[in-house]
């Protein structure tokens, strides 16, 4: 599967790209995970969006939030998904690595904070994230906050499969 990666602000996304992104997020977070919550929020307007496209099909997506948007002092990655067609290919690792590389490019001295689904702690731990909160329930799914110190991403094969 060949993936074409694009970083875009919300204003730079086409209506069709926005629709594809929101439809994929809805399919993963609301339908697959049976978690009814308001996925679309004002953070989308202030985020940088990374989309991985296979032809005209969305394969992977995340949004990068600047310090002060989700957390007072740290940038964050969120809404991290791989679509069904791309799962098991390693694209999830590539997606997160690209997100962290962009954070390092934009905010080289700042740590990164995420709110991760608790069952993914080993996956995010493989990128240097460590748990920084007690588990908490968010919309019926257990989450933990995780922090990663500032620094470049070391790209190497890892035994943990991509989500």
- Give the integer Cα–Cα distance in Å for 133 and 37: 22
- The 10s digit of each residue's pLDDT in 139-153 is 888 999 999 999 999
Q: pTM above 0.85? A: yes
- The 10s digit of each residue's pLDDT in 39-95 is 889 999 999 999 999 999 999 999 999 999 999 999 999 999 999 999 999 999 999
- Write down the pLDDT at residue 78: 95
Whole-Å CA distances, 43 to 87, 92, 94, 102: 26, 22, 23, 18
Per CATH, the number for 4-148 is 3.40.630.30
- Write down the pLDDT at residue 37: 77
- The 10s digit of each residue's pLDDT in 99-131 is 999 999 999 999 999 999 999 999 999 999 999
Q: 86 by DSSP, 3-state: which?
A: helix
Strands of 13-103, DSSP E: 48-54, 57-65, 76-82
Backbone CA torsion sign across 112, 102, 96, 58: positive
Q: Do the Cβ atoms of 60 and 95 come closer than 8 Å?
A: yes
- Write down the pLDDT at residue 156: 62
């Amino acid at each position: 599967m060949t993936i074409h990666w694009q970083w875009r602000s919300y204003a730079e996304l086409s209506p069709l790209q926005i629709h594809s992104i929101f439809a994929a997020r809805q399919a993963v977070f609301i339908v697959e995970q049976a978690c009814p919550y308001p996925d679309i929020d004002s953070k989308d307007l202030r985020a940088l969006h990374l989309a991985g496209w296979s032809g005209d099909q969305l394969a992977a997506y995340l949004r990068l939030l600047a310090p002060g948007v989700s957390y007072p002092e740290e940038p964050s990655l969120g809404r991290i998904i791989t679509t069904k067609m791309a799962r098991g290919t390693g694209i999830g690792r590539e997606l997160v690595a690209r997100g962290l590389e962009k954070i390092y490019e934009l905010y080289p001295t700042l740590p990164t904070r995420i709110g991760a689904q608790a069952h993914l702690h080993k996956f995010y731990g493989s990128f240097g994230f460590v748990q920084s909160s007690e588990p908490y329930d968010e919309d019926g799914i257990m989450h933990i906050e995780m922090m990663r110190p500032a620094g470049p991403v070391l790209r190497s094969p890892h035994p943990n499969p991509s989500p």
